[in-house]
Homo-oligomer: A and B are copies of this chain.
């Protein structure tokens, strides 16, 4: 099952994906460092250097993949369990290019949860650079790893 990706405006990317697990479990998988370490890196070693899940807190992940070491970081703007998470996102490879990610977690009432993640960029060029970066494949690999984690937790 692939995520549905769209571009609602010229500076946004919207990603929609349904997970076969209740909302509290999906929320935990996104906000508990021990959980994130098991899926975000798609099987690559992920070092969570910092993850302060509260308004104003910082996060920083370092992924050790076959093509090298990649750092990612940002800061939490809004944390409203179990339904809404807003944070900034920046990749070390393009420092100072910051997107704002808003994730909403919707209880579908049948034991499943819909996650909608909308990223807002400063410019259309930055948004298009992200679309061309292989983001979609990486995302689907991450979410497949998350499916497996949620099934193990079930």
Residues of A within 8 A of B (CB): 55-57, 74-78, 86-88, 90, 92, 95-98, 100, 120, 122-123
List B contacts of A123 (CB < 8 A). Answer: 120
Minimum CB distance partner of A96 in chain B: B77
B98 touches A56 (CB 8 A): no
When all copies of this chain in the complex are counted, the total is 2
List B contacts of A57 (CB < 8 A). Answer: 95
Give the top 3 A-B pairs by smallest Cβ distance, nearest first: A77-B96, A56-B95, A98-B98
A75 touches B96 (CB 8 A): yes
B76 touches A96 (CB 8 A): yes
A77 touches B56 (CB 8 A): no
Of B55, B76, B95, B120, which contacts A75 at CB under 8 A?
B95
Given contacts A75-B90, A90-B75, contact A122 B96 (CB under 8 A): no
Known A88-B98, A120-B122, A122-B122; further 18 A-B contacts with Cβ < 8 A: A55-B95, A56-B92, A56-B95, A56-B96, A57-B95, A75-B90, A75-B95, A76-B95, A77-B95, A78-B96, A86-B96, A87-B96, A88-B96, A96-B100, A98-B98, A98-B100, A100-B122, A120-B123
